Structure 1
Amino acid sequence: MAANTCNKTDVKNVPYYDRPRERLLREGAVHLSDTELLAILLRTGSERETAYQLAQRLLAKFGDLRGLAQASHAELRELKGIGQVKAVELHAAFELGRRLVGIPRISRASIRLPRDVADLMSPELAHLTQEHFVCLFLNTKNHVIGKQTIFVGSLDASIVHPREVFKEAIRRSSASVICLHNHPSGDPTPSREDIAITHTLREAGELVGISLLDHVIIGDGRYVSLKEQGYL
């Protein structure tokens, strides 16, 4: 009667690649596949599948780690076996990864050209599904001394207020500021709102004595510098 039913004993009798914790301890994390590392985050599956099998289904649904990192909470919950706790833990893990990418690069970055801004920030911004408006704060030698996300959501000149941008710039004793944001569509062509925000920030910077050096829009593998476009 139970010949075709997988039980807890059956789940334990799995090959070594289906026991990623043991592999990590034995061989090190660098030798594990994406599926195995994901299975460690998930910790448990169910009576009918292991965490490894659940990780396989997750990656199959979203295509790869990049697709999984972009998934919303609701999209994760659509997959059987992913409850609220697992969905939250996955979001937290991917956010930590995104933040880690930017820490060492930002702290020693020197900006000379718009391409430097794009190279520095594309890994952090290009994959995001919402617009993020970010400011880089520079010293007199154009070294980045700080970074701040000012706003998340659809950009509007009335929302991205110069007060928030230059309050942070003054607090950090910045000589200049570079603003940038991503276009989730992948097309970095500036909108009328982007141009209006740039003009407003340039004028505000002139009043407080902190130059707006550029406003860079990050797309999918492309970028646009509003300075190079003649808006600054």
Structure 2
Amino acid sequence: MKHAPSVFAESPMLPLADVTPVTLDRDEVEIVTAKPTSSKGKIPSYLADHRKRLRHRFLTGGAAAMPDYEILELTLFRVIPRQDVKPLARQLIETFGDLNGVLAAPLARLQRVEGVGPAVALELKVMETVTHRMARAKVMQRHVISSWDAVLDYCHTVMAHRDTEQFRVLFLDRKNVLIVDEEQSSGTVDHVPVYPREVVKRALEVNASSLILVHNHPSGDPTPSNEDIAMTNQISDAAMALGITLHDHLIIGRSRELSFKAQGLI
């Protein structure tokens, strides 16, 4: 917040109507209004010790054993530096299931959680973007068959916790190297529009020799519907007519995936 320069001797006091109000987001208000614990406004010693212990465990190899809410605490420290963020971290995990669910939650749903203001929501969405890009970097420009586990991890990271269906296509070159990964469409909780002609057209544009289709089921059950099977067959037929191979169609659930090829559906 800006303060007026010290000109009281030279200028009369401004009327209240001329003062421009300043809006703080919720997190800033929480920090500003938090009751200081000393004349210097330092955080309580027990809270500082707790944060120090968490950071130490994380940095000395204990991250793998830390529960999701503690990893979330470490993230929230930076945004809400003078408050105990454990209750908020626990509430977020309880609301969205796990850390992946928190990061994948839509912005509007995040901000409905008490204590999540614009700054916290932004931090969480930045974390989500970082995780997606790291997972994607492990599969782009790599041989898909020899990197299959990384492909599955990427698909789960990006799609498993979405609350609406998303349809993606992985475009491969003649050596089965992933050259393009694109979201083709998104839909509702149980439907996503797919246009076989657009999929094949895009394959020609990027000079792809083969495809892998991927979409998610927000219900968590990756069992394909009759519509899923029919759509896959349409794309396979259209691609085959142009010399393009459909390797597989993956349906991503919350904890597992289904492969059309493994199930004999392709």
CA contact (8 A) 1:18 1:36 kept: no
Please show how residues 68-147 of structure 1 align to structure 2 within 5 Å: 68-111=102-145, 118=152, 121-147=155-181
CA contact (8 A) 2:92 2:113 kept: yes
- Distance in 2 between the 1:114 and 1:103 partners? 14
Cα distance 1:92–1:109, how it changes in 2: closer, same or farther (>3 A)? same
Greater C-alpha radius of gyration: 2
Cα distance 1:206–1:56, how it changes in 2: closer, same or farther (>3 A)? closer
Please show how residues 195-206 of structure 1 align to structure 2 within 5 Å: 195-206=229-240
Shift of 1:116: 7.8
Tell me which of 170, 178, 189 is aligned to 2:204. Answer: 170
Equivalent position of 1:214 in the other structure:
248
Equivalent position of 1:12 in the other structure:
43
CA contact (8 A) 2:139 2:178 kept: no
Opposite residue 76 of structure 2, the aligned amino acid is A
Count of residue pairs the alignment pairs up: 222
Structure 1 segments (4+ residues) deviating >6 Å: 29-32, 112-116
Q: TM-score, normalised by structure 1?
A: 0.75
Residue 204 of structure 2 corresponds to residue 180 of structure 1:
no
Once the two structures are superposed, residues 122-156 of structure 1 have per-residue CA deviations (whole angstroms, 9 ceiling, x without a partner) of: 34332332222111111222222221111122476
Opposite residue 37 of structure 1, the aligned amino acid is L
CA contact (8 A) 2:212 2:249 kept: yes
Listed as ranges, the gaps of 5+ residues in structure 2 are 1-33, 64-69
CA contact (8 A) 1:111 1:144 kept: no
Q: Secondary structure at the match of 1:106?
A: coil
Q: Secondary structure at the match of 2:214?
A: strand
- Distance in 1 between the 2:261 and 2:90 partners? 45
Shift of 1:193: 1.6
CA RMSD, 1 decimal: 3.6
- Distance in 2 between the 1:54 and 1:129 partners? 22
CA contact (8 A) 1:112 1:142 kept: no
Residue 40 of structure 2 corresponds to residue 40 of structure 1:
no
- Distance in 2 between the 1:187 and 1:124 partners? 17
- Distance in 1 between the 2:164 and 2:131 partners? 17
Equivalent position of 1:152 in the other structure:
186
Shift of 1:60: 5.2
Cα distance 1:203–1:17, how it changes in 2: closer, same or farther (>3 A)? farther
Bigger mean CA offset, 190-199 vs 96-105 = 96-105
Shift of 1:194: 0.6
Cα distance 1:200–1:113, how it changes in 2: closer, same or farther (>3 A)? farther
Once the two structures are superposed, residues 183-220 of structure 1 have per-residue CA deviations (whole angstroms, 9 ceiling, x without a partner) of: 12121111122112112211221233222222121223
- Distance in 2 between the 1:91 and 1:116 partners? 22
Q: Secondary structure at the match of 1:184?
A: coil
